[in-house]
Every structure is written in C-alpha cells, then in structure tokens.
Amino acid sequence: MATPLMVRSSPFWCRHCYTYQYPLNYKPFSSISYSPIKTKSFSLLNSAKMEGGTGITQEVKENLGEDLRVKKKIFVAGATGSTGKRIVEQLLAKGFAVKAGVRDLEKAKTSFSHDNPALQIVKADVTEGSVKLAEVIGDDSEAVICATGFRPGWDLFAPWKVDNFGTVNLVDACRKLGVNRFILVSSILVNGAAMGQLLNPAYIFLNVFGLTLVAKLQAEQYIRKSGINYTIIRPGGLRNEPPTGNLVMEPEDTLYEGSISRDKVAEVAVEALNLPEASYKVVEIVSRPDAPNRSYVDLFGSIKQR
C-alpha cells in the first residue's frame, strides 16, 4: 500500500495572485475557487521523495504552486489593440491564464508569442452578437476585460457597432455565462455635455467620427444597470510611450484634460481585477509629474460608488 501523501492543512498567502490558496486536503472543497490540478502535478507528487512521510520536496511544492497560479482565466476583448495587447502581456506576467479575443487571427500570430501555454487565442468579433461571444468566452473565464475600439473610416456607424452594441453584446454574453466581473476601458469626456464641455476641442474631435463618446456613454450606462460587478476606467489621452509621472484617479465626470501611457491604463485594468475597492466604480485616470505616489488600494478606495 502506498504511503499516504501529507501536505500542510492551513491556507497560505500567494504573493503572485494576491489571494489565499488552499492545500489539497483542506475542507470544504466547495470553498476552493480554482479548477482541479493538472494530471502532471499528480504524477510529480506520486514520484516525489517523501520527507519522513509528512511533506513533499521543495521542488514539488514549487511545481504545485506554478499549476495553482495559472488557473484564473481572463477573457480580453480587443486583445490585439494598442491597449488590449498590453493588458494581455501584464495579465500573463502576473500569472493569469488569458483567453485573447481577436477579430484577425493572422494579426494575432504576429502580436503574441506562441510558446506560452497560459495564452489561448480565439476569434471573437463583438459585433456578431452575444450568443457567439458566449461560446468563445466559455465557462472557464472568470472575468472579462473590454479594450475594444473602432477603426476610423467612412462607416459612421462603426462607433456604435463596436463601442456601443459590441460592449452590450459582451455584457449579455457574461450574463448568459454567469461571469460576474467586467472591466471596461472607456474614455474621459464621455459625459462631456453634462460637464459643460461641449466646446472642449477634445470632446468635439472625439465625437466627429459618429458620436463616439455618446456611444461609449450609453454602453457604460448599460453595464451599470446589468447587475454585473463592473469597473469602468476612463483614461485621458492615450500615449504609446512608457509611463511618466504618477497616477491620478478621480471620480466620474471630473477630468476634462490630461494624458496617460497605455501601459499604465493596462496596469490599472489588471489591478482592478483583485481589488474589492474597485468594484462597482467609474474612475477617470491621467498621469501628472507632481501627483503623489499612492497605492491602488488607496486610489480605488478614495472613489465613492454612485
């Protein structure tokens, strides 16, 4: 008879995913949010050298930890976009599994590495309806991050197809699947009319292409009424350069100017996943050189829910 495997029975803090993890013999199993451990882990455990019958080798513990970390799968819509790609990269760097939703699979092949087992690339067009989106998001995704954006062109309905109907389709797909975490990358000035910013050059410019900001605002309102746990992030002007200065986070309908690195926007979206302080909130963000350096808990915690 094989000697029974003994592992520690108390929860422990995982510094990679910022949550408590539970060992194999912890009860009840219903409290464990991760999917079953891969077969290769059991093979590794069974062949491990026992230490007095009460533990496993450090090498086995490290491999077990690797398998447990890469379990929480996040679906990213618009994954090959300038901001979406950065979100995917940061999620992978933090140990998440990612399902990257893209319209162009060929473009995705040149955008991402193919040797990362934590990355799955799937074809997903947000304009094709919630039923198809639900199929590609799947029941293995725990959250959705929407970083889509229309491509300027002659189609004046493009902003509504992508930034409005597309976002609504994603929300409806989440409701069908029971996915209860949704993060949207939107824009400052979406509610510029109510803020008295009708003559703001940025508001005028962003609405030239089919009332883009109006489309985004209506999508935001749909999310807020959906019952899903949301975080809506409204960045200022997006820069491709690395971050400079410190992050400024304000309540909705506050900021009407300023810019921010796409890398920092991606970081805010990823950090929001694990913070209760980010739930059911709309935040506006820019970077400023004179801003204090504050933690994300402090930043999100300072914004009140409406």
- pLDDT, one tens digit for every residue, the chain (306 residues): 444 444 444 444 444 444 444 444 444 433 333 333 333 332 322 333 333 343 433 443 344 344 434 347 999 999 999 999 999 999 999 999 999 999 988 888 888 877 899 999 999 999 999 999 999 999 999 999 999 987 766 666 777 899 999 999 999 999 999 999 999 999 999 999 999 999 999 999 888 877 899 999 999 999 999 999 999 999 999 999 999 999 999 999 999 999 999 999 999 999 999 999 999 999 999 999 999 999 999 999 999 987
Is-contact 145 183, C-beta < 8 A?
Answer: yes
Catalytic residue positions, numbered: 187
C-alpha triplet 85, 86, 87: angle, nearest 5°: 90
What's the CATH class of domain 73-301? alpha beta
Q: Which residue's structure tokens are 């000035």?
A: 189
> Which of the 8 DSSP states describes residue 161?
I
pTM: 0.76
Structure tokens at 245: 């200065």
Is-contact 87 75, C-beta < 8 A?
Answer: no
Domain boundaries, the chain: 12-69, 73-301
Structure tokens at 57: 């080798």
Is-contact 156 163, C-beta < 8 A?
Answer: no
Alpha-carbon distance 225 to 172, whole Å? 12
